[in-house]
Structure 1
């Protein structure tokens, strides 16, 4: 943008001073003298430098684009490699988990017999507890009945005559 602005300013200056630009003058080339318009010589040098600058900018832009493309290929290759490594880790994790679950299943199969024994023992304890509760309930009812009889004999409690 700045380059275009400078070129537009130069073109305006040359247009406004065209008479002075094409006026011939004696120019020294170092080995001889030449009669040429100094403005046209300077304008030609400006255009040549501008063309060289544009070629340099195009060269830099092209090299940057090529470098960007090369880096993009390297990044894509690295990403593919990382994806493959991650997929490999997932596969290893899956096989490890399957082996662990298989091992746990085998242990569970072995402990299935001990688990059945524990359940059977718990059932026996529960039945024994039921019998004990029933016996203590019967014993408690007998004690209450005995206390009621004693209290009736002592005439402390009113007799229910139903």
Structure 2
């Protein structure tokens, strides 16, 4: 129990104990004035009854206040749960959009890369064809030159060395 509840219970027990011990004084008849009239009644009993009614009203007010707080809490909890679900759905939607965007970017990047590779292959093929054609043309020229040269006796081209030291 918290300290407030203990103090309230102690106060109620003290009032009950005083009322029990002084019951004769509380029930003693005296003249009581209500402002517009006077009557003979036990003043202590009237005050004790008014205090009990006030206590009941405070208790009812506290219970009503606690009930409204609980209802507000449940309403806020439902609203918060709904907002959390909306946020989760929005986040999932953003992840889905991001995934689709990344897949699209990946696909576009692949297409660009494949196009570049195709261009490079085409250029390489053209260069290989050009190189083959150039080599064939050079070989054709050499063959033509060899065919046009009359067959002449082959001369031996050795240096005329009489002395080994004269070589250089």
Is 1:41 aligned to residue 46 of structure 2? Answer: yes
**Bigger CA drift: 99-108 or 60-69?**
99-108
1:30 alignment counterpart: 35
Give the secondary-structure state (helix, strand or coil) at the position aligned to 1:30.
coil
1:72 alignment counterpart: 77
Of 76, 98, 116 in structure 2, the residue corresponding to residue 111 of structure 1 is 116
* Map 1:96-135 → 2, pairs under 5 A: 96-113=101-118, 114=120
Give the secondary-structure state (helix, strand or coil) at the position aligned to 1:47.
helix
TM-score scaled by structure 2? 0.63
TM-score scaled by structure 1? 0.65
Quote how far apart the aligned CAs of 1:77 are.
1.4
After superposition, give the CA deviation of every residue in 1:58-117 in whole Å (9 maximum; x if it has no partner): 111111111111111211111111111101101100101111111122223223343795
Give the secondary-structure state (helix, strand or coil) at the position aligned to 2:39.
strand
Question: How far apart are the structure 2 equivalents of 1:22 and 1:78?
Answer: 62
1:5 alignment counterpart: 10
Stretches of structure 2 lacking an aligned partner (at least 5 in a row): 125-168
RMSD between superposed Cα atoms in Å: 2.0
1:59 alignment counterpart: 64
Stretches of structure 1 lacking an aligned partner (at least 5 in a row): 118-162
Question: How far apart are the structure 1 equivalents of 2:111 and 2:34?
Answer: 102
Higher helix proportion: 1
Length, aligned pairs only: 118
